[in-house]
Chains A and B, each alone.
Chain A
Amino acid sequence: MVRALSVAVLLILVVMPLLAALPALFFAGQGAGIRANWSLWLVPVSQTVLLTISVTLLVLLSGLAIARHIGDSRGFAVISVLLSTPHVAFAVGIMLLLSPSGYLTRLVHTLLHTLPTPPAGWPLPEKSVLTLAIVLLLKEIPFLLLIASTQLRQLPYQQWLLQAQSLGWSARRAWWLLVVPALLPRLKLALAAIVIYTLSVVDIPLLLGPNMPGVLATVVYQQHYKWSADNQAVIGVWWLLLLSAVLFLLLQGLLSGYPPLVRLARNHWQKTSRWRWHLSAGMGFLQVGAGLSLLVLAALLMESFAGARFYPALWPQQWQASRWLTEWPYIWPLLLTSGWLALISAALATAAAIAVLEHQRRTKNRSMHWLPLLMLFIPQLVLVLGWQKLAGAGSSGPMLIWSHVVFCFPYTYLVLHGAWVNVSDRWLYQAQSLGYSYRQAWWQVLLPMLKHAVFSAFAVAFSVSIAQYLPTLWLAGGTLPTITTEAVSIASGGDWRLASLYALMQALLPLVMFTLLLGRKTKQQAIDVAH
């Protein structure tokens, strides 16, 4: 039964979407005769490789450095807020804060009167690889932390740390030399997802990235919309696939290179204790992260009420509450549509991941598989175009939900994996020995034990569904506008006051969901301790 379910899930959510996308690939194949225009690709490709490698490394290092403190519930709240803010809303907020005409420069000018016009040499210009890298970092570190926290739950790492300390090791040494080597292999696929995301995300670099030329994904995107016969988009897709493969191998090499490094370091790293310093550094990031995400929301809120607000005025010269009043009747149906779509998709995606993982658990197959994650490794544009050819336009309802589930499923699998495959069978045996049937034991003992992981997965899937733009627009054929499709089209006009309002509303739903599901942390901790 579970085996059949697991196979069915993989067929419906991984194999079918791939097959259904084939028409688009064939169609792309028509351009096979095109010769690569090297001058077009050279800079974007090298720029993208540099960006992806440095962002992934930084995410990994800072993620690992912080991971030790995320058991703390305040820390988890910060992660949730960062993670649930849709990435476009987050990018808009960061720009409002840090761009050359943003709040920071305005504040400097208000205090010191030194910047009468927006500074030309500002380190974070509106468009640069650096700005892009910072936004990506802030979005990806929480994702890695979420995965790391679910994986850490499966390791008795607190005991290791205690033992190491009793042997006179510093906490930092114990963390990097004992826990990290055990944790790293478990993060491999999450890191691969980060690599692919950095490589292929389009909307953030369109907003913040360089455009002379852009990063690879934006160039592919722009080529895709060109009408000329010399369409290089197909070659771009191949570049994307090639780079994914190369960077994945690099990642593999990096991860397998760590243990020898550890052996070397075990002999040479001094044993002094830096417990306090390390702790405060980790908490420092969390506080900065928390502050920043609150500031982002505050900036969006203020902008949504602003009338005219020209540099260097710190506060809006006038306020306009009318924007909220006039838009609200149009916004709430959008919230409703987004909400039910995300609820259903997240529930189905969570159930699907549970089916696959339950099969893995029963067959004692504990490794994280690449097959359920496959959809994270293929550009969304290609997939959706293929599905749409197959299904026809305006097929609202089932097809749309299916597409959302397809994109939510890899995330629920990633989040649930660690907790699920490592839960011990002895709980089931004990329950059965107390007179429960297997089914009762599963529903009444096993599932409640994994409640926290299930809630996390549901919340993440919910926010993934909320953020879907292309599938919602194309598969529903505009008959089901959601808060996201509206927000993206309004952001394209560059009126940040209205766009901020929509971005806030877009951030609201996942935020509510995260608070509802994960805010019950204290109760959960009691259960964890009991275990």
Chain B
Amino acid sequence: MRALGACVLLAFTLLFAVIACQPLSPRQPVLFYAWGGNPAVNDYLRWAADELYQQDIELRHVKVADIADVVKQLTKGQSNADLIWINGENFQALKAAGKLHQISGDISQLANVNDKLNWQTDFGEAVEGLEVPWGLAQFHLLSCSQCLQGNSVSAVQLLAYAAEHPGKISYPKPPEFHGTTFLKALLLSLSDTPELFHQPVSASAEQLTAPLWHYLELLHPHLWQQGTNFPGSAAEQLNWFANGVLDIAVSFNPNEAATLVKQGRIPAGTARLTLGAAAITNHHYLAIPTSAANKQAALRVIEFMLSEKAQRRKAQLDGWGDPPVITIPDANAPSLLPVADEFDASWQPYLEHAWSERFQ
């Protein structure tokens, strides 16, 4: 019993120590809620926190397993987030709920953002200054050195490969966003009128997507576990790919083949290729919720994240390898993949719903 008593006493002492120490920090804390699943991103944010510390800002990376948790809190409850990393449907939900600050006017570095990038719409939703681009995503496949060849593979070629190598192909289960994007890429490859997908879903949607469903009926019997199960996430698929269970993985980071080989996460010789002629391209953003307690400090963090120093570091292949969104002079920046524009946002729920109706 005495040991137990000592434990409790120790615990309370620690508690008071922790509470007492907190107000001593003179720096402005910025609570940055961001996905914490990628060690390379986490390392990058540790570096950024060290840099910002010298500017009297304490950047705290609050690692979440899914940023949707926080979006849910912001729209329906409360959150203490000062800064969040979002895009797509999470952005839409926050925009619709009016939970984001208008910040584009306050960020001087925005002038340096590469104007060739189509970042003003986020999955078809107008950004309207509510978020600021941080990096760039391009959907593509990773393939082992002896598997798929070339710079791109069409939907038809993929089907032929799957038929020859049963059980070696799969894709993350929609509505996981890599999975849904996989469907979009197939649609672009199969469709005669790809430009129609930049418009909202209309009455012709069923007719437009018919080739995709027919194609999947043919493809699924050749998939891993005959399409009765799917990887739950791109990360899971990546692990199976690394161990030779599958011949392809999916990725949104155009430099990921290089960075992951450097990390020893996937075998050397892994190649990247687009599904269809080009890579569906979108952006990921930083935004400040209206409920943020430290808006000014959060703005300074964004300013730093868009600086040349930070963007250059972010692009390094021995780190995160995320392409810069600003124009960096003399950069030997790794090449981007051919760009295909993102679908209108209304296609996202339509495809997810139609897919689960048919294959769930």
Contact = CB atoms under 8 A, between A and B. Distances in A.
Interface in A435-462: 447-448, 451, 454-455, 458
Given A128-B229, A213-B360, A498-B39, A492 B80 contact: no
Contacts of B8: 343-344, 347
Nearest to A493: B37
Contact of B11 (A125, A228, A307, A344): A344
A481 to B, nearest CB: 7
Interface string B85-100: 0000100110000000
Nearest to B349: A228
Nearest to B96: A227
Given A225-B72, A393-B73, A481 B228 contact: no
Interface stretch (A268-276, A285-293, A483-491): A483-491
A343 B4 CA distance: 9
B175 A473 contact: no
Contact of A489 (B36, B92, B173): B36
B228 A212 contact: yes
B35 A210 contact: no
Given A308-B267, A311-B243, A494 B236 contact: yes
Interface in A122-142: 125-128
Interface stretch (A163-171, A244-252, A384-392, A425-433): A384-392
B65 A492 contact: yes
B136 interface: no
Contact of B1 (A222, A451, A485): A451
A496 B239 contact: yes
Contacts of A488: 65
A126 B231 CA distance: 9
Interface in A304-327: 307-308, 310-312, 318, 320
Contacts of A225: 66, 68-69, 72
Contact of B60 (A40, A478, A490): A478
A211 interface: yes
Nearest to A391: B78
A211 B232 contact: yes
A495 interface: yes
A477 B230 contact: no
Contacts of B173: 211-212
A117 B166 CA distance: 13
A118 interface: yes
Contact of B36 (A100, A343, A392, A490): A490
Contacts of B80: 393-394, 477-479
Contacts of B36: 486, 489-490, 492-493
The listed residue with most B CB atoms (<10 A of its CB), out of A118, A225, A494, is A494
A481 B39 contact: no
Given A127-B232, A307-B264, A458-B4, A481 B62 contact: yes
B345 to A, nearest CB: 11
A492 B39 CA distance: 11
A120 B169 CA distance: 12
B243 A473 contact: no
Contact of A343 (B10, B31, B167, B233): B10
A413 interface: no
Given A308-B264, A493-B38, A101 B11 contact: no
Given A117-B244, A310-B242, A455 B4 contact: yes
Interface string B160-197: 00000001000001010000000000000000000000
Interface in B230-252: 230, 232-233, 235-236, 238-240, 242-245
B273 to A, nearest CB: 20
A490 B39 contact: yes
A473 B92 CA distance: 24
A385 B230 CA distance: 30
B76 A27 contact: yes
A227 B31 contact: no
Interface size class of A (residues with CB under 8 A): 35 or more
Interface in A204-227: 206, 210-213, 222, 224-227
Interface in B262-292: 264-265, 267
A494 B37 contact: yes
A397 interface: yes
Given A101-B240, A489-B36, A492-B36, A393 B235 contact: no
Interface in B31-63: 31, 33, 35-39, 42, 46, 60, 62-63
Contacts of A495: 37-39, 235, 265
Interface string B1-15: 101100110111011
Contacts of A7: none
Contact of A310 (B14, B15, B238, B244): B244
Interface string B246-261: 0000000000000000
Given A127-B229, A493-B38, A118 B62 contact: no
Contacts of B81: 478
Contacts of A485: 63
Nearest to A206: B232
B19 interface: yes
A224 B175 CA distance: 13
A481 B63 CA distance: 8
B203 interface: no
A329 to B, nearest CB: 10
The listed residue with most A CB atoms (<10 A of its CB), out of B64, B78, B238, B240, is B78
B239 A494 contact: yes
Contacts of B3: 516-517
B225 interface: yes
A473 B1 CA distance: 32
Contact of A494 (B77, B238, B359): B238
The listed residue with most B CB atoms (<10 A of its CB), out of A336, A343, A481, is A343
Nearest to B12: A344
Nearest to B360: A213
B151 interface: no
Nearest to A312: B244
A210 B229 CA distance: 7
B360 A477 contact: no
Interface string A139-153: 000000000000000
A474 interface: yes
A394 to B, nearest CB: 4
A340 interface: yes
B31 A489 contact: no
A290 to B, nearest CB: 26
The listed residue with most A CB atoms (<10 A of its CB), out of B64, B78, B243, is B243
A517 B1 CA distance: 10
Nearest to B64: A489
B244 A311 contact: yes
A447 B5 CA distance: 13
B111 interface: no
A224 B238 CA distance: 26
A485 B69 CA distance: 13
A485 B77 CA distance: 20
Contacts of B230: 211-212
Nearest to A219: B360
A367 to B, nearest CB: 28
Interface of B: 1, 3-4, 7-8, 10-12, 14-15, 18-19, 31, 33, 35-39, 42, 46, 60, 62-66, 68-69, 72-73, 76-81, 89, 92-93, 167, 173, 175, 225, 228-230, 232-233, 235-236, 238-240, 242-245, 264-265, 267, 349, 353, 359-360
6 contacts: A125-B229, A210-B229, A211-B229, A308-B267, A310-B267, A492-B66
Given A126-B240, A473-B69, A489-B64, 15 more contacts: A27-B76, A101-B244, A117-B244, A311-B244, A318-B264, A343-B7, A389-B78, A474-B69, A477-B80, A490-B39, A492-B35, A493-B35, A493-B37, A495-B265, A498-B39
Q: What 10 A-B pairs are tightest by C-beta distance, nearest first?
A: A493-B37, A494-B235, A478-B62, A489-B36, A394-B80, A343-B11, A308-B264, A101-B243, A489-B63, A311-B243
